[in-house]
């Protein structure tokens, strides 16, 4: 029996909010995808993390970790090298937040508006945009869309410094509160601030759920 369930690609950036994907945001994104009768496939670039952070102390550790291998912790092993991404396999693309988006998927945490985006991340976004397919981004990850796409409308919450950098990348920003979303109908983008604001886990779930519902409706 065939089904009409849509497939959403999810790009992870490691495991842990200070040096990889924010685990609540990533997990609740996957939950929202299944809750809304769609399926997902996780991807991550096969690269070293910028650094490894001890999440108990907040200090950098003298070790190296691989983004793809660390992302497998969240994906329960079912994660594919982003270099193999094919836009024909999916109906939409979503990037959860966490500082891995700004340290591993891009250099926004260090270079701001002058940041670079990982080539496989950029290629996946551009291929989906060219195919007129929806893209979602949570927390800090919308800054990647600001860098890669042309004048997108998005949100990262209310952080003035981040908003200034987004404007410097020639993107438009709309301030939001917890669990709110912003939709760029023209470019089929949906963004939500998550932990860019002081948020509870249930608010993260609400934001992820609204984002996935909006993506599936575009």
Asked if residue 1 is part of any domain, the answer here is: no
- Strands 79-81 and 60-61 come out as unpaired
Asked if residue 208 is part of any domain, the answer here is: yes
Burial of residue 95 (CB within 10 Å: 0-12, 13-18, 19+) is buried
pLDDT value, residue 4: 84
Q: Which domain holds residue 72?
A: 7-217
Give residue 191's pLDDT band: very low, low, confident or very high (50, 70, 90).
Answer: very high
Asked if residue 2 is part of any domain, the answer here is: no
Asked if residue 160 is part of any domain, the answer here is: yes
Query: In the predicted model, what is the mean pLDDT of residues 2-14?
Result: 90
pLDDT value, residue 2: 47
Query: In the predicted model, what is the mean pLDDT of residues 172-182?
Result: 98
**Spatial distance between the Cα atoms of 215 and 218, rounded to a whole number of angstroms:** 5
Asked if residue 139 is part of any domain, the answer here is: yes
Report the CATH number at residue 60: 3.40.50.880
pLDDT value, residue 3: 64
The percent of residues above 90 in pLDDT, for the chain, comes to: 98
Asked if residue 162 is part of any domain, the answer here is: yes
**Spatial distance between the Cα atoms of 46 and 158, rounded to a whole number of angstroms:** 32
Q: pLDDT tens digit string along 24-42? A: 999 999 999 999 999 999 9
Q: pLDDT tens digit string along 106-140? A: 999 999 999 999 999 999 999 999 999 999 999 99
Structure tokens at 109: 């945490």
Asked if residue 60 is part of any domain, the answer here is: yes
Give residue 1's pLDDT band: very low, low, confident or very high (50, 70, 90).
Answer: very low
Which residues are catalytic, by number?
139
- Strands 134-138 and 92-95 come out as parallel
Asked if residue 34 is part of any domain, the answer here is: yes
Q: pLDDT tens digit string along 53-112? A: 999 999 999 999 999 999 999 999 999 999 999 999 999 999 999 999 999 999 999 999
Query: In the predicted model, what is the mean pLDDT of residues 157-184?
Result: 98
**Spatial distance between the Cα atoms of 73 and 191, rounded to a whole number of angstroms:** 25
Instruction: State the total domains in the chain.
Output: 1
């Amino acid at each position: 029996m065939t089904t009409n369930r849509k497939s959403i690609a999810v790009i992870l950036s490691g495991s842990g909010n200070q040096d990889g994907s924010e685990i609540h945001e990533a997990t609740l994104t996957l939950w929202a995808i299944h809750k809304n009768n769609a399926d997902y496939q996780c991807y991550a670039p096969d690269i070293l993390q910028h650094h490894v952070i001890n999440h108990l102390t907040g200090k950098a550790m003298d070790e190296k970790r691989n983004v793809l291998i660390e992302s497998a912790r969240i994906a329960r092993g079912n994660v594919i090298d982003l270099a193999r991404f094919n836009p024909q396999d999916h109906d939409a693309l979503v990037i959860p937040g966490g500082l891995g988006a700004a340290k591993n998927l891009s250099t926004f945490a260090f270079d701001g508006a002058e940041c670079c985006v990982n080539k496989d991340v950029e290629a996946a976004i551009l291929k989906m945009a060219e195919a007129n397919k929806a893209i979602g981004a949570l927390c800090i990850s919308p800054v990647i869309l600001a860098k890669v796409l042309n004048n997108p409308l998005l949100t990262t919450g209310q952080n003035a410094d981040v908003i200034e950098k987004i404007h410097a990348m020639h993107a438009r920003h709309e301030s939001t509160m917890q669990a709110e979303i912003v939709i760029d109908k023209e470019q089929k983008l949906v963004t939500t601030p998550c932990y860019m604001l002081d948020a509870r886990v249930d608010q993260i779930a609400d934001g992820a759920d609204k984002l996935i519902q909006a993506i599936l409706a575009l």
